Amino acid sequence: MDQNITGAQPPHRLFHHFSELPYSMRVLFTAMLLLLGMGYLFALLNIYFTYAGRAGGNPLMLSYEDIVVAYSGSGRGSVLEGALSGPMSTMLPPDEKARLLTWVHDGATKPDYDAIKPIVDKRCMACHSGSNPHLPNLSDFDNLKKVTALDTGASISTLVRVSHIHLFGVTFIFFIVGYVFTHAYVRPVWFKSTVIATPFAAIAVDVSSWYLIKLYHPFAWVEIGAGMLMAACFAFMWLMTMYQMWFSKPPEAILQRMGGDVPLADPEVSGRKGRDGLRLLS
C-alpha cells in the first residue's frame, strides 16, 4: 500500500510512526512479534495434527468433514474407533489396532480388558496417562470404557473449558499485535481500523461456531472462514509492522513532521494545512 499518497489524510497529532519510536521500543516489539509469529505457526500445526483425519479420510489432509466430526461426532462409531481410524491410525501396528477394535465391537467388557491393556500401556500412556487434562485419560478400564461410547463430538463442558481459554488467550494476542500495528502508517484509516477490529469479531464467530456445528453442520464452513480471516489479519499486521519498522523509509507525512529530507513547497501554506488537519482529527 502506497505510504505517500498526495492529499492523504494527515497523521493524528498523537500518532507516532515506528521511525519516531526509540530503538529499544522497536527491539521490544520485534522480539515479541518474532515469538508470537512462531507461536501462531505452531498453533496452525496443532489444528492440523488435532483434526486431520478425524472423519476417517486421508490423515494427511484437513477437511470440512474432519471439523464436523470433531465437534458433532461421527454418529457411526465410538470415539476410540474414530481416533484409531483417523489421527491415531499411525500410532500402532495394524494387528494391535485390529485387536483394540475387536474388543470395542465385542462390547468392551472388563473380562477381556486384560488382553488389550498391554497394548494401551505401550502405545497410549505416553500421552493419555491423565496428566494432560485436554486428552482422554486411558489409564484404567473405567476411563477407557468412556471412549468406547458413541462418538457425539466434543462435550459441552469440554467446549466451555476450551472456549474461555481460547477467548482470553487469542484476545490478548490480537490486542498486543494490534497495538503495535497502530504505529504503522496505513491509509485509508478506515482500512487500518478494520484490520485491527476484524480478528476480534472473528474470534467470537469462531468460538460460537463450535457449539452451532452440533446443531447445523455447515457452520463448520463459518468456523473455517473465521480462522482464515484471523490468520490473514495476523499475517498482514505482522508483515506490515516488520516492514515499516526496519525496511522502509518513513512516509512523507512523517518526514515533514520530523523536519526530515522532504522539503515543504510552501512552509506557510503547508503549516496552515497541517494545523487545519490536526484540528479536524482532534
The answer to the question of residue 137 being in a domain is yes
Q: Are residues 236 and 181 in the same domain?
A: yes
Asked if the structure places residue 267 within a domain, the reply is: no
Query: What whole-number distance in Å separates Cα of residue 263 and Cα of residue 282?
Result: 25
∠ CA 111-85-218, rounded to 5°: 125
- Domain assignment present for residue 62? The answer is no
For residues 29 and 86, membership in a common domain is answered with no
Buried b (16+ CB within 10 A) or exposed e, 48-64: eeebbbbbbbebeebbe
C-beta separation of 192 from 168 below 8 A: no
pLDDT in tens, 60-77: 788 898 899 889 887 667
Same domain, yes or no: 168 and 245: yes
Cα distance between residue 126 and residue 39, in whole Å: 24
Average of per-residue pLDDT across 91-99: 85
pLDDT tier at 220, thresholds 50, 70, 90: very high
Same domain, 234 and 167: yes
Domain hosting residue 88, numbered range: 77-146
Residue 266 forms part of a structural domain: no
Distance (Å, whole) CA 82 – CA 53: 9
Assigned domain for 254 exists? no
Q: Is residue 169 part of a domain?
A: yes
Q: How many whole angstroms separate alpha carbon 237 and alpha carbon 130? A: 39
The C-alpha cell that represents 114 in the structure block = 486384560
Would residue 13 count as lying in a domain?
Answer: no
Confidence of residue 265 (pLDDT cuts 50, 70, 90): very low
**Do 100 and 167 sit in the same domain of this protein?**
no
Per-residue pLDDT reduced to its tens digit, 174-206: 999 999 999 999 999 999 999 999 999 999 999
The tens digit of pLDDT for each residue in 144-185 reads 888 887 777 788 888 999 999 999 999 999 999 999 999 999
Mean pLDDT, range 250-267, rounded to an integer: 67
Indicate the number of domains in the chain.
Answer: 2
Co-location of 141 and 164 in the same domain? no
In a domain, 23, yes or no: yes
DSSP bridge partners of 78: 150
Tell whether 172 and 221 lie within a shared domain.
yes
- Domain match, 165 and 42 both: yes
- Residue 210 — pLDDT band, cuts 50, 70, 90? very high
Residues 30 and 170 in one domain: yes
User: To 10 degrees, what angle do helices 156-181 and 23-51 make?
Assistant: 150
Res 266 pLDDT > 60: no
DSSP secondary structure of 204-248:
HHHHHHHHHHHH-TTHHHHHHHHHHHHHHHHHHHHHHHHHHHHTS
Angle at CA of residue 101, ends 97 and 107, nearest 5°: 155
CA 271/CA 252 separation, integer angstroms: 15
In this structure, the answer to whether residues 162 and 129 fall within a common structural domain is no
204 shares its domain with 243: yes
pLDDT score for 75: 63
